[in-house]
Structure 1
Amino acid sequence: MVAVSSTQFPRGNSEKALEEFRVKMVLEMKKVHKDLAAINHCMGKTFASRRNEIVSSSPAITTVESRWPALFLQAQNCAEFKQITNRNLLQLLNLSREKQFGKFGHHLSAILKMYDTNVQAKDVSILRTAAIHCLPALLDECDSEVFKVCEEAELRTLESSDCPICILSIAPKDEEGNVLFLQPSPVYIILEGRMVTSSL
């Protein structure tokens, strides 16, 4: 990932102005009835400064939670993903179809076959899950440490050391005992051994 320099801040916005947007977002996140439109506006304005801060200083997850709490909202997860990759989930899935012959081609093919089997359900969560599972393979990375799947009963006994950084899916099994990982409910993001986002 390439760090965004301060010269790439939105035109007409100084570092001080962007900090004011950040503070406004933090205050809005503390409200019971949040103004999501205002939060979206603030997060959009501060994207460059946020990426620069996170990439250049690699802050602890507790610091990110404190300074950028909206980043852990489901809508902001999706918005941040699109800002960074410049692709939506359907485009990512289509790219996966073009890359089925690389190092992890067999893995992509298995995911896409499972997605195509379930596509008639027209469930956006299935699209999202399939696209995210394809992402490591597109980057020529093994996903065994990125994605963890367990049943609801196993969640209570899961140790933080088992998955210090991962996307944890609570997924059902079919009649033959196979995990239906494209139909998880819910999904948790775990960073530094802490559950930072749930019920995605």
Structure 2
Amino acid sequence: MKLDQKLRRKEIVEEQPPGKRMMERWPALFTESQVFAEFYRVASQSLDRLLQPINTQANDITTTRTAVLQCLPLHLGDDSSEFFIRVSDSDTNYDFTQVPVGVLSVMTEDTPPKISSIAIILEGNLVLDEIPTHAQALCLLFGLIYALHLDYPKGMKNTFEFIQKILLNLGQQKLSPKLQTLKNALLI
């Protein structure tokens, strides 16, 4: 590992600085390629493995994936109301400063509304934007959580543990009853 990567990792783990400070000190970390690289360094797993099937299939499944990702927290008993944030593209006064972690969807004024852009919010700051799909945004956010040594978003613990333990096969494999039930249902 390069010296700057070691210093960054040490700073993240020991000091647990706010995301804004990390953006100022290590701006390259907030690019897609660096999120993937840092996740691999931390977890010894490829985050691309999750995105591979997403990127190789037709876009007509994007709507279905978005619905599944937004319904997964409901199925697992998580509260995603402060995590999946939707605003109108004409709403210029939305305040993100109170959002610790979230995925932002900017919606058009069309009927029905369409997503005009997707972004990731960390500690009240937009850290990555112009993300093509919700699946990719959630994957990148998971990578950032690992890279920045952050806790899972409040209210979304089961969803992120599902991603960690079932989709990525990382960490202890002891599952809560909710996660074990979902895993069993998926394997049928």
**TM-score of the pair, normalised by structure 1:** 0.44
Structure-2-length-normalised TM-score:
0.47
Greater RCO (Cα-Cα under 8 Å, separation 6 or more): 2
